[in-house]
Protein backbone atom coordinates (compact mmCIF):
# COMPACT_ATOMS: atom_id res chain seq x y z
CA UNK A 1 0.00 0.00 0.00
CA UNK A 2 2.81 2.35 0.95
CA UNK A 3 4.58 1.62 -2.36
CA UNK A 4 1.45 2.38 -4.39
CA UNK A 5 0.70 5.50 -2.36
CA UNK A 6 4.22 6.84 -2.89
CA UNK A 7 3.77 6.48 -6.66
CA UNK A 8 0.33 8.15 -6.71
CA UNK A 9 -1.47 4.80 -7.12
CA UNK A 10 0.05 4.33 -10.54
CA UNK A 11 0.48 0.59 -11.19
CA UNK A 12 3.10 0.87 -13.91
CA UNK A 13 5.42 3.26 -12.13
CA UNK A 14 5.06 1.27 -8.90
CA UNK A 15 6.15 -1.94 -10.59
CA UNK A 16 8.90 -0.48 -12.79
CA UNK A 17 9.56 3.20 -12.19
CA UNK A 18 12.00 4.34 -14.81
CA UNK A 19 13.04 2.01 -17.59
CA UNK A 20 15.99 4.23 -18.44
CA UNK A 21 17.57 3.45 -21.81
CA UNK A 22 15.23 0.48 -22.30
CA UNK A 23 12.51 3.04 -22.98
CA UNK A 24 14.30 3.88 -26.22
CA UNK A 25 13.92 0.35 -27.51
CA UNK A 26 10.18 0.34 -26.95
CA UNK A 27 9.49 3.85 -28.25
CA UNK A 28 8.37 4.06 -31.86
CA UNK A 29 10.27 5.93 -34.53
CA UNK A 30 13.71 5.22 -33.12
CA UNK A 31 15.65 3.00 -35.46
CA UNK A 32 19.27 3.08 -36.53
CA UNK A 33 19.66 4.28 -40.12
CA UNK A 34 22.37 3.59 -42.67
CA UNK A 35 23.28 5.75 -45.64
CA UNK A 36 25.84 4.74 -48.24
CA UNK A 37 28.13 7.35 -49.79
CA UNK A 38 29.83 7.46 -53.19
CA UNK A 39 32.28 4.59 -53.71
CA UNK A 40 35.80 5.67 -54.60
CA UNK A 41 38.69 3.65 -56.04
CA UNK A 42 41.98 4.09 -54.22
CA UNK A 43 44.04 4.52 -57.36
CA UNK A 44 43.74 4.48 -61.09
CA UNK A 45 41.64 1.79 -62.73
CA UNK A 46 43.44 0.35 -65.75
CA UNK A 47 42.68 -2.56 -68.09
CA UNK A 48 44.81 -4.88 -65.96
CA UNK A 49 44.48 -3.36 -62.48
CA UNK A 50 41.51 -2.80 -60.24
CA UNK A 51 42.58 -1.01 -57.04
CA UNK A 52 40.68 -1.37 -53.73
CA UNK A 53 37.45 0.52 -53.37
CA UNK A 54 36.33 2.68 -50.47
CA UNK A 55 32.67 2.81 -49.56
CA UNK A 56 31.56 5.20 -46.84
CA UNK A 57 28.60 4.24 -44.73
CA UNK A 58 26.99 6.74 -42.39
CA UNK A 59 25.26 5.05 -39.48
CA UNK A 60 23.05 6.84 -37.00
CA UNK A 61 22.46 5.72 -33.44
CA UNK A 62 19.23 7.32 -32.17
CA UNK A 63 19.40 5.63 -28.78
CA UNK A 64 20.65 6.95 -25.46
CA UNK A 65 23.12 4.07 -25.18
CA UNK A 66 26.11 3.20 -27.31
CA UNK A 67 26.06 0.58 -30.04
CA UNK A 68 29.11 -1.38 -31.11
CA UNK A 69 29.75 -2.23 -34.72
CA UNK A 70 32.08 -5.22 -34.81
CA UNK A 71 34.96 -5.86 -37.18
CA UNK A 72 33.45 -7.68 -40.09
CA UNK A 73 33.88 -8.75 -43.65
CA UNK A 74 31.14 -9.16 -46.24
CA UNK A 75 31.40 -10.79 -49.63
CA UNK A 76 31.10 -8.54 -52.66
CA UNK A 77 29.28 -9.86 -55.70
CA UNK A 78 28.75 -8.63 -59.22
CA UNK A 79 24.98 -8.36 -59.07
CA UNK A 80 24.36 -8.85 -62.77
CA UNK A 81 26.30 -12.12 -63.06
CA UNK A 82 26.15 -13.25 -59.44
CA UNK A 83 29.91 -13.72 -59.34
CA UNK A 84 31.90 -13.15 -56.16
CA UNK A 85 34.41 -10.45 -56.99
CA UNK A 86 35.97 -9.59 -53.63
CA UNK A 87 35.51 -8.94 -49.98
CA UNK A 88 34.53 -5.79 -48.09
CA UNK A 89 36.09 -5.22 -44.70
CA UNK A 90 34.75 -2.92 -42.07
CA UNK A 91 36.69 -1.84 -39.03
CA UNK A 92 34.59 -1.91 -35.88
CA UNK A 93 33.51 1.27 -34.15
CA UNK A 94 31.48 2.32 -31.14
CA UNK A 95 28.52 4.47 -32.08
CA UNK A 96 28.08 6.92 -29.25
CA UNK A 97 24.56 7.64 -28.00
CA UNK A 98 22.50 9.84 -30.32
CA UNK A 99 25.25 10.30 -32.86
CA UNK A 100 26.14 9.68 -36.50
CA UNK A 101 29.36 7.99 -37.45
CA UNK A 102 31.07 7.40 -40.77
CA UNK A 103 32.20 3.83 -41.28
CA UNK A 104 34.40 2.80 -44.15
CA UNK A 105 34.15 -0.40 -46.09
CA UNK A 106 37.34 -1.29 -47.86
CA UNK A 107 36.56 -3.56 -50.79
CA UNK A 108 39.46 -5.62 -52.07
CA UNK A 109 38.95 -7.48 -55.32
CA UNK A 110 40.14 -11.02 -55.89
CA UNK A 111 42.22 -11.63 -59.06
CA UNK A 112 39.24 -13.54 -60.53
CA UNK A 113 36.88 -10.76 -59.50
CA UNK A 114 39.09 -8.06 -61.03
CA UNK A 115 39.33 -10.05 -64.24
CA UNK A 116 35.57 -10.54 -64.36
CA UNK A 117 34.82 -6.85 -63.87
CA UNK A 118 37.46 -5.62 -66.28
CA UNK A 119 36.55 -8.12 -68.98
CA UNK A 120 32.76 -8.04 -68.69
CA UNK A 121 31.85 -4.61 -67.38
CA UNK A 122 34.05 -2.15 -69.19
CA UNK A 123 32.01 -0.31 -71.81
CA UNK A 124 34.10 1.95 -73.95
CA UNK A 125 36.55 3.45 -71.55
CA UNK A 126 34.34 3.22 -68.45
CA UNK A 127 33.87 0.53 -65.87
CA UNK A 128 30.23 0.28 -64.90
CA UNK A 129 28.96 -2.38 -62.57
CA UNK A 130 26.40 -2.88 -59.89
CA UNK A 131 28.07 -4.55 -56.90
CA UNK A 132 26.38 -6.09 -53.92
CA UNK A 133 27.63 -6.59 -50.37
CA UNK A 134 26.26 -9.80 -48.92
CA UNK A 135 26.75 -11.26 -45.49
CA UNK A 136 25.95 -10.78 -41.85
CA UNK A 137 26.21 -7.32 -40.34
CA UNK A 138 27.26 -7.74 -36.72
CA UNK A 139 26.36 -5.41 -33.87
CA UNK A 140 27.25 -5.57 -30.21
CA UNK A 141 24.90 -4.22 -27.59
CA UNK A 142 26.49 -4.53 -24.15
CA UNK A 143 27.71 -8.05 -24.91
CA UNK A 144 24.59 -9.14 -26.78
CA UNK A 145 25.56 -10.06 -30.33
CA UNK A 146 23.19 -9.25 -33.15
CA UNK A 147 23.72 -10.70 -36.60
CA UNK A 148 21.55 -9.26 -39.35
CA UNK A 149 21.67 -10.68 -42.84
CA UNK A 150 22.48 -7.80 -45.17
CA UNK A 151 22.37 -7.23 -48.90
CA UNK A 152 23.34 -3.77 -50.06
CA UNK A 153 23.97 -2.88 -53.67
CA UNK A 154 25.82 0.11 -55.13
CA UNK A 155 27.04 1.31 -58.49
CA UNK A 156 30.71 1.64 -59.30
CA UNK A 157 31.67 3.86 -62.14
CA UNK A 158 35.21 4.74 -63.12
CA UNK A 159 37.24 5.77 -66.11
CA UNK A 160 39.57 3.01 -67.26
CA UNK A 161 43.09 4.12 -68.16
CA UNK A 162 45.39 2.25 -70.51
CA UNK B 1 20.25 -20.32 43.52
CA UNK B 2 19.21 -21.58 40.13
CA UNK B 3 21.81 -21.41 37.37
CA UNK B 4 20.99 -18.89 34.60
CA UNK B 5 19.66 -20.66 31.49
CA UNK B 6 19.86 -19.71 27.84
CA UNK B 7 18.70 -21.05 24.55
CA UNK B 8 22.18 -21.26 23.03
CA UNK B 9 20.99 -21.90 19.48
CA UNK B 10 18.84 -18.79 19.55
CA UNK B 11 21.63 -16.71 21.05
CA UNK B 12 23.77 -17.38 17.98
CA UNK B 13 20.95 -17.35 15.40
CA UNK B 14 19.49 -14.00 16.54
CA UNK B 15 22.50 -11.75 15.81
CA UNK B 16 23.17 -13.60 12.55
CA UNK B 17 19.61 -12.89 11.44
CA UNK B 18 20.00 -9.20 12.27
CA UNK B 19 23.21 -9.16 10.24
CA UNK B 20 21.88 -11.05 7.22
CA UNK B 21 20.01 -8.21 5.43
CA UNK B 22 23.25 -6.21 5.40
CA UNK B 23 25.27 -8.86 3.59
CA UNK B 24 23.98 -8.13 0.11
CA UNK B 25 22.47 -10.12 -2.72
CA UNK B 26 21.98 -13.87 -2.64
CA UNK B 27 21.78 -14.40 -6.36
CA UNK B 28 23.11 -12.68 -9.49
CA UNK B 29 22.04 -12.76 -13.10
CA UNK B 30 24.07 -11.23 -15.91
CA UNK B 31 23.00 -10.90 -19.51
CA UNK B 32 25.72 -9.91 -21.94
CA UNK B 33 28.34 -7.53 -20.59
CA UNK B 34 26.12 -5.10 -18.71
CA UNK B 35 23.04 -5.44 -20.93
CA UNK B 36 21.12 -6.63 -17.87
CA UNK B 37 22.63 -7.03 -14.40
CA UNK B 38 20.27 -8.26 -11.74
CA UNK B 39 21.17 -9.14 -8.19
CA UNK B 40 18.70 -9.76 -5.44
CA UNK B 41 17.81 -11.43 -2.20
CA UNK B 42 14.66 -11.09 -0.10
CA UNK B 43 16.26 -7.91 1.35
CA UNK B 44 17.94 -6.24 -1.58
CA UNK B 45 17.18 -5.72 -5.24
CA UNK B 46 19.40 -4.11 -7.86
CA UNK B 47 18.62 -4.09 -11.57
CA UNK B 48 20.70 -2.35 -14.21
CA UNK B 49 19.80 -2.37 -17.87
CA UNK B 50 22.25 -1.02 -20.45
CA UNK B 51 24.34 0.52 -17.70
CA UNK B 52 21.49 2.44 -16.08
CA UNK B 53 19.62 1.48 -12.89
CA UNK B 54 16.00 0.43 -13.20
CA UNK B 55 13.98 1.04 -10.06
CA UNK B 56 10.88 -0.68 -8.77
CA UNK B 57 9.20 0.97 -5.82
CA UNK B 58 7.09 -2.11 -5.13
CA UNK B 59 10.09 -4.45 -4.98
CA UNK B 60 12.00 -1.93 -2.82
CA UNK B 61 9.16 -1.83 -0.32
CA UNK B 62 8.88 -5.63 -0.32
CA UNK B 63 12.62 -5.85 0.39
CA UNK B 64 12.31 -3.24 3.14
CA UNK B 65 9.44 -5.21 4.68
CA UNK B 66 11.42 -8.45 4.53
CA UNK B 67 14.49 -6.76 6.06
CA UNK B 68 12.46 -5.32 8.94
CA UNK B 69 10.71 -8.66 9.48
CA UNK B 70 14.04 -10.49 9.73
CA UNK B 71 15.63 -7.88 12.00
CA UNK B 72 12.60 -8.04 14.31
CA UNK B 73 12.76 -11.85 14.15
CA UNK B 74 16.41 -11.72 15.16
CA UNK B 75 15.70 -9.38 18.08
CA UNK B 76 12.75 -11.51 19.26
CA UNK B 77 14.84 -14.67 18.97
CA UNK B 78 17.63 -13.08 20.94
CA UNK B 79 15.29 -11.87 23.72
CA UNK B 80 13.52 -15.24 23.87
CA UNK B 81 16.85 -17.01 24.10
CA UNK B 82 18.19 -14.72 26.82
CA UNK B 83 15.07 -15.14 28.93
CA UNK B 84 13.75 -18.57 27.98
CA UNK B 85 11.59 -18.94 31.09
CA UNK B 86 9.64 -15.72 30.78
CA UNK B 87 5.98 -16.11 29.83
CA UNK B 88 6.49 -14.20 26.57
CA UNK B 89 9.59 -16.12 25.56
CA UNK B 90 7.86 -18.87 23.60
CA UNK B 91 5.69 -16.40 21.71
CA UNK B 92 8.67 -14.33 20.61
CA UNK B 93 10.59 -17.43 19.65
CA UNK B 94 7.67 -18.77 17.61
CA UNK B 95 7.66 -15.52 15.64
CA UNK B 96 11.41 -15.30 15.15
CA UNK B 97 12.70 -18.82 14.73
CA UNK B 98 11.29 -19.90 11.38
CA UNK B 99 10.76 -16.68 9.38
CA UNK B 100 14.15 -17.09 7.70
CA UNK B 101 13.42 -20.72 6.88
CA UNK B 102 10.34 -19.74 4.88
CA UNK B 103 12.16 -16.84 3.21
CA UNK B 104 15.03 -19.10 2.18
CA UNK B 105 12.73 -21.83 0.84
CA UNK B 106 10.51 -19.29 -0.98
CA UNK B 107 13.57 -17.66 -2.53
CA UNK B 108 14.91 -21.02 -3.72
CA UNK B 109 11.53 -22.00 -5.17
CA UNK B 110 11.19 -18.62 -6.88
CA UNK B 111 14.55 -19.03 -8.63
CA UNK B 112 13.73 -22.57 -9.74
CA UNK B 113 10.30 -21.39 -10.93
CA UNK B 114 11.82 -18.51 -12.95
CA UNK B 115 14.14 -20.86 -14.84
CA UNK B 116 11.39 -23.45 -15.27
CA UNK B 117 8.95 -20.87 -16.68
CA UNK B 118 11.66 -19.50 -19.01
CA UNK B 119 12.46 -22.98 -20.29
CA UNK B 120 8.77 -23.82 -20.61
CA UNK B 121 8.11 -20.67 -22.67
CA UNK B 122 11.14 -21.48 -24.82
CA UNK B 123 9.54 -24.81 -25.64
CA UNK B 124 6.22 -23.17 -26.54
CA UNK B 125 7.24 -20.15 -28.62
CA UNK B 126 9.34 -20.48 -31.74
CA UNK B 127 10.90 -17.02 -31.18
CA UNK B 128 12.42 -18.34 -27.94
CA UNK B 129 13.62 -21.62 -29.41
CA UNK B 130 17.20 -22.10 -28.35
CA UNK B 131 16.71 -20.44 -24.96
CA UNK B 132 17.99 -22.68 -22.20
CA UNK B 133 18.15 -21.22 -18.71
CA UNK B 134 20.33 -22.89 -16.09
CA UNK B 135 18.79 -23.67 -12.74
CA UNK B 136 20.07 -21.52 -9.85
CA UNK B 137 23.64 -21.32 -11.07
CA UNK B 138 25.45 -21.74 -14.36
CA UNK B 139 25.82 -20.14 -17.73
CA UNK B 140 24.51 -20.60 -21.23
CA UNK B 141 24.65 -18.81 -24.55
CA UNK B 142 21.27 -19.13 -26.25
CA UNK B 143 21.01 -18.10 -29.87
CA UNK B 144 17.60 -16.73 -30.82
CA UNK B 145 16.11 -15.86 -34.18
CA UNK B 146 14.31 -12.55 -33.83
CA UNK B 147 12.73 -11.31 -37.09
CA UNK B 148 15.65 -11.15 -39.54
CA UNK B 149 18.32 -11.09 -36.86
CA UNK B 150 20.18 -13.79 -35.03
CA UNK B 151 20.80 -12.73 -31.44
CA UNK B 152 23.37 -14.36 -29.18
CA UNK B 153 22.63 -13.88 -25.49
CA UNK B 154 25.45 -14.91 -23.17
CA UNK B 155 23.92 -15.25 -19.72
CA UNK B 156 25.21 -16.26 -16.33
CA UNK B 157 23.54 -16.96 -13.00
CA UNK B 158 25.25 -17.53 -9.71
CA UNK B 159 24.35 -17.96 -6.09
CA UNK B 160 26.40 -15.72 -3.81
CA UNK B 161 27.87 -16.54 -0.41
CA UNK B 162 25.15 -14.78 1.70
CA UNK B 163 22.69 -17.36 0.32
CA UNK B 164 24.77 -20.14 1.88
CA UNK B 165 25.57 -18.05 4.94
CA UNK B 166 21.80 -17.77 5.57
CA UNK B 167 21.72 -21.51 6.14
CA UNK B 168 23.50 -21.02 9.49
CA UNK B 169 20.90 -18.78 11.21
CA UNK B 170 18.14 -20.70 9.45
CA UNK B 171 19.20 -24.10 10.86
CA UNK B 172 20.08 -22.60 14.25
CA UNK B 173 16.67 -20.91 14.34
CA UNK B 174 14.90 -24.23 13.79
CA UNK B 175 17.12 -25.92 16.40
CA UNK B 176 16.38 -23.13 18.87
CA UNK B 177 12.69 -23.82 18.51
CA UNK B 178 13.20 -27.53 19.18
CA UNK B 179 15.56 -26.79 22.08
CA UNK B 180 13.09 -24.33 23.58
CA UNK B 181 10.64 -27.17 24.34
CA UNK B 182 12.75 -28.16 27.33
CA UNK B 183 11.92 -24.83 29.02
CA UNK B 184 8.22 -25.33 28.49
CA UNK B 185 8.34 -28.83 30.03
CA UNK B 186 10.12 -27.78 33.21
Domain-located, residue A2: no
Domain-located, residue A54: yes
DSSP bridge pairs for A59: A34, A101
CA angle B61, B63, B68 (to 5 degrees): 95
DSSP bridge pairs for A138: A147
Is the ipTM higher than 0.85? The answer is no
The rounded distance, in Å, linking the Cα atoms of A143 and A130 is 35
Pick the closest to residue B17 from B74, B92, B96, B94 (CA basis). Answer: B74
Nearest Cβ partner for A144 among B35, B51, B61: B35
Residue numbers in A near B58 (CB within 8 A):
3-4, 14-15
Please compute the mean of the pLDDT values over residues B127-144 and round it to a whole number. 86
How many structural domains does chain A have?
1
Farthest CA pair distance, chain A: 84
Residue numbers in A near B46 (CB within 8 A):
none
Residue-range definition of the domain harbouring residue A65: 31-161
Q: How many Cβ atoms sit within 10 Å of the Cβ of residue A132?
A: 18
B104 Cβ neighbours under 8 A, 6+ residues apart: B166, B167, B170
CB B97 within 8 A of CB B77: yes
- Mean pLDDT for all residues in chain A: 84
Closest-CA residue in chain A for B143?
Answer: A145
Q: For residue A71, is it left (φ>0), alpha (ψ between -120 and 50) or beta? A: beta
Which parts of chain B are beta strand (E)? 27-31, 36-40, 45-49, 52-54, 138-140, 143-146, 149-152, 155-159
Domain-located, residue A139: yes
Return phi, psi of residue A12, to 5°: -65, -50
Residue numbers in B near A12 (CB within 8 A):
none
pLDDT at position B41: 94
The rounded distance, in Å, linking the Cα atoms of B60 and B45 is 7
The tens digit of pLDDT for each residue in B12-40 reads: 999 999 999 999 999 999 999 888 999 99
Question: What is the H or E stretch that residue B112 is in?
Answer: helix B99-124
Domain-located, residue A135: yes
Q: Is the pTM of this model over 0.80?
A: no
The rounded distance, in Å, linking the Cα atoms of A88 and A52 is 9
Return phi, psi of residue A51, to 5°: -70, 165
**Domain extents in chain B:** 8-118+157-185
DSSP assignment of A137-153: EEEEETTEEEEEEEEEE
Q: Which of residues 18-37 of B touch A (CB under 8 A)?
A: 31-35
* Subunit contact A143:B56, Cβ cutoff 8 A: no
Q: Which of residues 83-122 of B touch A (CB under 8 A)?
A: none
HSE (CB half, 13 Å, CA atoms) of B30? 12
Output A28 or B88, whichever has higher pLDDT. B88
The rounded distance, in Å, linking the Cα atoms of A138 and A71 is 8
Per DSSP, B136 falls in state S
Q: What's the CATH number where A137 sits?
A: 2.60.40.10
> How many residues does this entry show for chain B?
186
Interchain CB contact of B150 with A (< 8 Å): yes
The tens digit of pLDDT for each residue in A15-72 reads: 777 666 666 666 666 777 777 788 899 988 888 889 999 988 888 888 888 888 888 8
Pick the closest to residue B103 from B46, B53, B162 (CA basis). Answer: B162
Q: How confident is the model at residue B73 (pLDDT cuts 50, 70, 90)?
A: very high
Q: pLDDT at residue A162 above 80?
A: no
CB A161 within 8 A of CB A93: no
Closest-CA residue in chain A for B152?
Answer: A145
Q: pLDDT at residue B70 above 90?
A: yes
Q: pLDDT at residue B174 above 70?
A: yes
Check: CATH 1.20.140.150 for B8-118+157-185?
A: yes
The tens digit of pLDDT for each residue in A95-130 reads: 888 888 888 889 999 999 999 999 999 888 899 999
Amino acid sequence: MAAFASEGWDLRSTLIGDLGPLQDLTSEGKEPEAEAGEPQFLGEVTRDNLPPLLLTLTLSNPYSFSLGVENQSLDVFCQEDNVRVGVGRLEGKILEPESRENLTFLVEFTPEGSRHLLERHVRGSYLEAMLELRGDFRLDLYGLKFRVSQEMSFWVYAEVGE
Amino acid sequence: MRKREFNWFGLIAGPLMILLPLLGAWWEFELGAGAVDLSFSPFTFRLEALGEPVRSTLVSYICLGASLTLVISGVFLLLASLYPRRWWSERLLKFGATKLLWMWISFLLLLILLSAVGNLLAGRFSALEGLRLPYLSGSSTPVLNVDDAVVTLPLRMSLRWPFFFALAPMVLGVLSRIYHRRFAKD
